[in-house]
Amino acid sequence: MILNASGCLDALTAPRVARSLDIYVAKTITPEPMSGNPQPRLAETDFGLLNSIGLQNPGVESFCAEILPRLEELGMPFWISVGGANAADYARVCERIGERESVSALELNLSCPNVDPAAAGAAEIVAACRAVSDKPLYAKLSPHLPDVAEVATGVIEAGASGLTLVNSLRGLVLDEWTLEPRLGRGVGGYSGAAMRPVALAAVYLCYEATKGAVPIVGVGGVQNGKQALDLIAAGASAVALGSVLFGDLEAPERVRTELEQEALARGFERPGEARGAAHRPSAG
């Protein structure tokens, strides 16, 4: 299954691209509107993209009134990404959006590098959301966690149905001549090709810790089908495309075709059969 990474595709301005995905993931929504970080918010680096959008969004009420009905018109499965400053914020958005039957799942953005982190622990936020919604809940975790597998098992115990691994890394890029940060906020979220080994490690460790019991969406630097297959071998059950969509709107179709070919070439009839192949059976 191919998804987009939250924040990397606007289905309302690019409906054809959204429909080429198996599931569309909307940008993170918070209880109140957020205007985002100062401009500039995007900068290219040698090995990827730096962004500091800062969860700009219209807030949950305006989202439900104006955007959600238009997402429903796309006629495809979609998830909504949820953010907030504390557990009550996340729960409020989940409760409000969870009322809508059309929403297939809620992805809890527990890891945005561009806003101050929620004080509550990830498991506490998941438990608050589980208490108000029966929807599948995906916990999107940060690559900065010292022990991502421990947090993953904690959020699953608290009621998460799946994991999304990972959000962007914190990064900084300086102007060549002024030597000042190129982004208005200074530090931003680093994404793209350099993320691949980081995302692979997180997926690998969480698959091992959860014994493959929950679905995992692998995210980070995927640009072609072989890289998507690597994430599946590490333990992902689906792959999301992020930064690649800024330069290649045909990526979903292309990566899907390449993924099928790369899996077949290694003896897997379907890409899903390769899930966990990177985990060697224990000796003896």
- Residues in contact with ligand FMN by CB under 6 A are 5-8, 27-28, 49, 51, 53, 55, 81, 109, 140, 167-168, 189, 191-192, 195, 219-222, 242-243
| Residue closer to ligand FMN, measured from CB, 27 or 130 | 27
Beta carbon of residue 222, minimum distance to ligand FMN (angstroms, whole number): 6
Burial of 97 (0-12, 13-18, 19+ CB in 10 A): buried
CB 169, min distance to ligand FMN, A: 8
Q: How many residues does the chain have?
A: 284
Type of residue at 176: E
Residue closest to ligand FMN (Cβ): 7
Shorter beta-carbon distance to ligand FMN: residue 7 or 271: 7
Q: Which two tokens stand for residue 250?
A: 């045909």
Rg (CA), the chain: 18
* Strand pairing class (137-141; 216-219): unpaired
Catalytic residue chosen out of the listed positions 94, 112, 129, 206 = 112
Compare residues 148 and 282 and give the one whose CB is closer to ligand FMN: 148
In the complex, minimum distance from the CB of residue 79 to ligand FMN, in angstroms, rounded to a whole number: 11
Contact (CB, 8 A) for 98 and 60: no
Annotated active-site residue 112? The verdict is yes
Q: How far is CA 20 from CA 25, 74, 214, in A?
A: 13, 11, 25
Closer residue to ligand FMN (CB): 220 or 235: 220
CA distance 172 to 106: 30
Catalytic residues: 112
